[in-house]
Amino acid sequence: MKVAVVGSGLAGFTAYQTLRRELAPEEIAVFGVEDDPAATFSRRATAIRQREMRSESDGHCSPVSFPGLSLRAAVRRRSPAPLAGALTDRFHPTVPEFLDHVERLRERSGWSRSLVRGRIERVHAVERGFELDGYGVFEHVLLAPGHPGLNVPEELRDDPRAVHSYEPHDYACTVTVVGAGLAAATEWLNALAAGAEVVSVRRREPLRRPLNVPRELLTRRGLAGFHRLPGHERAERLRTLLTPSYPPGRQWDEPLAHAEVEGRFRVEQSVNGSAQVICATGFLHGFRHDALLSNLVDAYGLETVGDWIVLDPDGTVPSLTRVGRTLALAGAPAQWAYPGADSIGGAKVVAHAFLRRVRACRTR
């Protein structure tokens, strides 16, 4: 049996760890351009000076939830506080703790024995599986291409003042931050801490929620209701989930309130004359921004609704998956099946569904 994961980022790495429960490294090929699965995340976290993960204790890449990162943090810090925080959904591992966790898994899981340095541009369906460019045929393929690129508003692409929040940058004396999600909120505080006067430009008011998606959509009951939605309603629900959000809490509210009183923070409707413009506008959305997925849709006439490829509830592409072969999506492209798929926990859910398909074929 030959199994392939296309994408060596965190979603692909999480899938790999799940597959390793039953497959040897030599039975899995992981295609990607980065040896370190956390490299892209680390660069972006460094750019925005991110200190904590938005995910909670079970937001890790191991195939099972327990023990979560809170237990590891409690042992490392010699304190029960992380465990107590996990019980109340208030524990968030630090970025260094998460990166250390990824590195430990990478070293002991045989990742380097499975990794194939290369970029897959096309997937061809054949009788026995899927041919991946010139690398051979694989019976089961999981596509985890990651986000297709950074989103920079059209009107700011040629503005010399503009930089994306996920690119390296310092802070000018006057800063406009475009966006209203977690990256934007982080940049408000970063720029204020650097002594800047900050203007927030946003198209809509942010929601205040702990995670990227409401908790009910992480439950079986909530997910069942989501899967029952007709296609156009499901797409609208997903669009609603793209509304910018960042967690509630004094660590955000108090610095902003103080800065507002001091006249150093305000909200405006459009970009003004600030010396620097930071685009905290996240990523491009939709399969058309990803060459691999776009080619797949066009080559096989896959069903789509809006920005999403229509998937079965287990994340598989229905018209190309059959007995003996599997094509599934992971990460942000899998949100049609699982709204939280672009999180580490969501990647794990999709990975377990993929492993069940692989397991079923092994036991036939």
Whether residue 77 is predicted with pLDDT greater than 60 in this model: the reply is: yes
Residue 77 DSSP one-character state: H
Question: To the nearest whole percent, how much of the chain has pLDDT over 90?
Answer: 84
Res 91: pLDDT:
84
Res 1: pLDDT:
57
Tokens of 57: 């204790």
Q: The domain that contains 192 carries what CATH number?
A: 3.50.50.60
Q: Are residues 161 and 142 in the same domain?
A: no
- Mind listing the pLDDT tens digit for each residue in 179-190? 999 999 999 999
- Cα–Cα distance measured from residue 269 to residue 47, given in angstroms and rounded to the nearest whole number: 25
* CB-CB contact of 176 with 277 (8 Å): yes
- Mind listing the pLDDT tens digit for each residue in 115-167? 999 999 999 999 899 999 989 999 999 999 999 999 999 999 999 999 999 99
Res 364: pLDDT:
55
Whether residue 84 is predicted with pLDDT greater than 80 in this model: the reply is: no
Structural domain harbouring 136? 3-149+284-362
- What is Dmax (Cα atoms) for the chain? 69
- Mind listing the pLDDT tens digit for each residue in 251-299? 999 999 999 999 999 999 999 899 999 999 999 999 999 999 999 999 9
Any domain includes 202:
yes
Read off the pLDDT band of 313 (50, 70, 90): very high
- Cα–Cα distance measured from residue 55 to residue 59, given in angstroms and rounded to the nearest whole number: 5
Any domain includes 58:
yes
Res 94: pLDDT:
93
Res 334: pLDDT:
97
Q: Are residues 21 and 137 in the same domain?
A: yes
Q: Are residues 144 and 200 in the same domain?
A: no
- Mind listing the pLDDT tens digit for each residue in 322-346? 988 999 999 999 999 999 999 999 9
Q: Are residues 137 and 8 in the same domain?
A: yes
* CB-CB contact of 245 with 208 (8 Å): yes
Q: Are residues 250 and 319 in the same domain?
A: no
Any domain includes 321:
yes
CB atoms under 10 Å from CB of 135, counted, come to 14
- Mind listing the pLDDT tens digit for each residue in 29-64? 999 999 999 999 999 999 999 999 999 888 899 998
Torsion of CA 72, 76, 80, 83, to 10 degrees: -20
Any domain includes 216:
no
Any domain includes 304:
yes
Whether residue 15 is predicted with pLDDT greater than 90 in this model: the reply is: yes
Res 363: pLDDT:
55
Q: Are residues 326 and 358 in the same domain?
A: yes
Any domain includes 213:
no
Any domain includes 9:
yes
Q: Are residues 26 and 159 in the same domain?
A: no
* Helical ranges in 228-364 per DSSP H: 231-241, 250-261, 291-300, 344-362
Res 159: pLDDT:
96
Res 304: pLDDT:
98
Task: Pick the last residue of a domain from 263, 279, 295.
Answer: 279
Q: Are residues 199 and 267 in the same domain?
A: yes
Any domain includes 219:
no
Q: Are residues 81 and 169 in the same domain?
A: no
- Cα–Cα distance measured from residue 39 to residue 243, given in angstroms and rounded to the nearest whole number: 27
Q: Are residues 122 and 107 in the same domain?
A: yes
pTM of this prediction?
0.94
Q: What is the mean pLDDT of the chain?
A: 94
Structural domain tally of the chain? 2
Task: Pick the last residue of a domain from 279, 303, 330.
Answer: 279
Q: Are residues 260 and 307 in the same domain?
A: no
Q: Are residues 144 and 162 in the same domain?
A: no
* Helical ranges in the chain per DSSP H: 10-19, 39-47, 69-77, 81-87, 95-108, 111-114, 182-193, 220-227, 231-241, 250-261, 291-300, 344-362
Task: Pick the last residue of a domain from 279, 295, 330.
Answer: 279
Res 222: pLDDT:
93
CB atoms under 10 Å from CB of 90, counted, come to 15
